[in-house]
Structure formats: C-alpha cells, structure tokens
Chain A
C-alpha cells in the first residue's frame, strides 16, 4: 500500500495490509478486492488510489468473495486457453472489515469457501462498523459500548455474545484457517499470511485490528492494546491446518481480562462496582474458549 491513504492516525488496518502483502513473493502478482469499509473508502478516494503493484477490484459491500472467486475462475480459464503468461502466478486476496465479513458478506464468503476457489480472505476485525461511526456488528465483543448498543440505564453495551467466525470457517473444512494479531515483531502475522496465500485452496485469516476512535484509547497504544488482547487470551492466536489445531502463541503468564478491558473507553462502564459480574462473565467466556482450544489442540495433534 502506498503512502497518502486516509486511514485515521494509529489505525491497525494499514500495518496488517502491508504485512500481508509483504508475504507475497516479489515475482507473483496479486488481485486484491476490498469489502466496503474503512480500508476501502480511505484508500480509493477519487482521484487517488493507494494500491500499488497489485490489481485492485472495487466491489460492493457484500460481494467481495463473489467478485474474487469470479476473477479467479476467469484467470484459470484464460490460463488454460494460453492467453496468459504461463510462468506468472497470480494470487487472489480479499480484505474485509468485520462488518463486510461477519455480517453483510457472510453468505458470499461462505459460498466462495465452499466452492473451493484458490483465494485468501483476510478479515481485519475491529469489532464494529467504524467507518460509519461505531455501530455494533456481530463481531463486537460482549458488553462493548457502541453507538447502537450504548451503555446506560437500560442496556449494558452489547447484550449478545460475539460471533466466532474463525470457528465457522473451520467447519467449512478449509485447508488453512488462522487467527492472528499485530503481536510482537509481526512474525506471527507474516508467517500465517504466507501460509494462507501459498496454500492451495480457500483460506481465511482473521486479524485483530485495534481502532483508536471506536475503542477509545490513545492512538499511540496500537501495539500495547494488541499485545494485551493476546496475553489475556481475549484474542488467542491459533491456526488450523487441515483440521489440526495449533496455538501459535501461548502467553507465559495468562493475564486477567481486566488488563485488556481497562485500556479502552468502550468497556469503561464495566469498572463500576455494580457491574463486576460483567467482567466475570467476559472472563468466563475467554476461559471457555481458551480451554476449548487447548482441548482441540491435544485432541487433533495425534490424528
């Protein structure tokens, strides 16, 4: 991605995109498509484009996967007819926010994954519709305060639990599914992106993308917030290769989930004395997920 894009200062999405595209070999081409969202609207403001060295397809909110699967089929057909250079490889990468992936784009994503196109779908998950002003999405964490699920006298932020799309993608029997974040020196993200791009078949990578505006933290804390999400096991880093689970980062000391929650304004109401039960409930959900992953890792290791 080129400089001059208009994402907010301190946004998590541009480092994710740059790191994913860095994993693409220099000699290979890429076709990139974006679901409507922060990334799409702020990299393609007419008459400018921030996409360089890749072919970019502008598409509607819900059909990123459909657009890209069509492009992939056309590529295969043209290659078979000898109309394209046989020595060149083109990879197909989709970027979507959580709204364009978990809510609006879910059916086209599910369809593309089921049909087995050789595409990589990268979801940068910031947990709400940040582009239009922090409306809740199905990826918004439990009890998070957003403009359409406000914390106040009547409701305590989002009342529903988060949809776990990574697990839904695993059930599509994909060759490679991963969940990662901007953690440490970004090696984890790079390796997973490389594996996803160069695995034959449909692959899905979910990346936690902190949002200073929507989450309510100072813009310079990008790395700290990401690290806390991983260290508290709020956002576990794991991958599933042909059904075999592997947790790639196991925090040496699993921190209580408060450490992550207290960095952000959207969870501020949880720290009132009468709302302690909400933190306990989030902790319970985090522990349940973590124990499930440990169990699955052990169970699938020998198969």
Chain B
C-alpha cells in the first residue's frame, strides 16, 4: 500500500495529536447535568485535556473521545453539576 510520506518524515500539521484519541484510557465517565450547571466555567481551565467545550459562555459538551476520566472537573465544580460514573450513560449523551 502506498502511503504519502513527507520529506524527512516531518510532521507538517500543527496540533495533529487531535487524531490520537486518548478517551480509551478512562475507567470513569463524567456526566454533566445541564439543570445543575450555572455555567461558571470553572471546569474549563482546570481540565487537563481541555476537552470541555463551551459556546457563548454556555457549557455544551464534554468530549469523551479525549477525556481520560481524571475527575478534576467533578471536584472543581461548585454546584456538583459533573458527576463521575462507572458506566457511560449513552442515552443521556444523545439528547
């Protein structure tokens, strides 16, 4: 199979680690409750993976493709809006 390789095998794109998903590392899943969340944005700078997303100062999503399940966000939240669970509640993620 022919693959395109750059000269010197240099990395040509910055920040391409986005292609490497670290989400499989986790054993616990963060579950975000929109009712409890006051959008104080404390969790966003504390997240070591920077995988908590916000749009117009509203917390929208925790990207489970990269979340390593450390639980820093759950402890940092003053309103207990993020809870660490042992299983992934996939139904909740959809809506």
Q: Which residues of A contact B (CB under 8 A)?
A: 1-15, 18-19, 22, 43, 45-53, 182, 185-186, 212, 218-224
Is B46 touching A15 in the complex (CB atoms < 8 A)? yes
Is B74 touching A2 in the complex (CB atoms < 8 A)? no
Is B72 touching A49 in the complex (CB atoms < 8 A)? no
Is B45 touching A5 in the complex (CB atoms < 8 A)? no
Between-chain CB contacts (< 8 Å), 12 pairs: A4-B66, A5-B17, A5-B22, A9-B26, A15-B46, A18-B45, A47-B11, A48-B19, A48-B20, A50-B17, A52-B14, A224-B75
Is A4 touching B17 in the complex (CB atoms < 8 A)? yes
Query: Inside 8 A of A186's CB, which chain B residues have their CB?
Result: 45-46
Measured in the bound complex, the distance between the Cα atoms of B17 and A222 in whole Å is 24
Selected from B9, B25, B46, the residue in CB contact (under 8 A) with A9 is B25
Is A19 touching B72 in the complex (CB atoms < 8 A)? no
Is B71 touching A3 in the complex (CB atoms < 8 A)? no
Closest to A53 in B: B14
Is A3 touching B49 in the complex (CB atoms < 8 A)? yes
Selected from A4, A15, A219, the residue in CB contact (under 8 A) with B18 is A4
| A47-B9, A220-B71 known; A3+B18 contact, CB < 8 A | yes
Closest beta carbon of chain A to B41's beta carbon, Å: 9
Selected from A50, A185, A219, the residue in CB contact (under 8 A) with B15 is A50
Is A219 touching B16 in the complex (CB atoms < 8 A)? no
Closest beta carbon of chain A to B10's beta carbon, Å: 9
Query: Inside 8 A of A9's CB, which chain B residues have their CB?
Result: 25-26, 48, 68-70
Is A51 touching B15 in the complex (CB atoms < 8 A)? yes
Query: Inside 8 A of A51's CB, which chain B residues have their CB?
Result: 14-15
Query: Inside 8 A of B59's CB, which chain A residues have their CB?
Result: none
Is B17 touching A223 in the complex (CB atoms < 8 A)? no
Give the residue among B11, B45, B71 with the most A Cβ atoms within 10 A: B45
Query: Inside 8 A of A182's CB, which chain B residues have their CB?
Result: 46
Closest to B17 in A: A4
Query: Inside 8 A of B75's CB, which chain A residues have their CB?
Result: 220-224
Instruction: Let me know if B58 is at the binding interface, CB within 8 A.
Output: no
Query: Inside 8 A of B14's CB, which chain A residues have their CB?
Result: 2, 49, 51-53
Query: Inside 8 A of A12's CB, which chain B residues have their CB?
Result: 48
Query: Inside 8 A of A53's CB, which chain B residues have their CB?
Result: 14-15
Query: Inside 8 A of B63's CB, which chain A residues have their CB?
Result: 3
- Taking CB atoms and an 8 Å cut-off, the chain B residues in 55-95 that contact chain A are 63, 66, 68-72, 74-76, 84
Query: Inside 8 A of B49's CB, which chain A residues have their CB?
Result: 3, 5, 14
Is B72 touching A2 in the complex (CB atoms < 8 A)? no
Measured in the bound complex, the distance between the Cα atoms of B76 and A49 in whole Å is 28
Closest to A5 in B: B17
| A14-B50, A15-B45 known; A4+B11 contact, CB < 8 A | no
Instruction: Let me know if B37 is at the binding interface, CB within 8 A.
Output: no
Closest to B51 in A: A3
Query: Inside 8 A of B48's CB, which chain A residues have their CB?
Result: 7, 9-15, 222
Measured in the bound complex, the distance between the Cα atoms of B46 and A182 in whole Å is 8
Is A4 touching B22 in the complex (CB atoms < 8 A)? yes
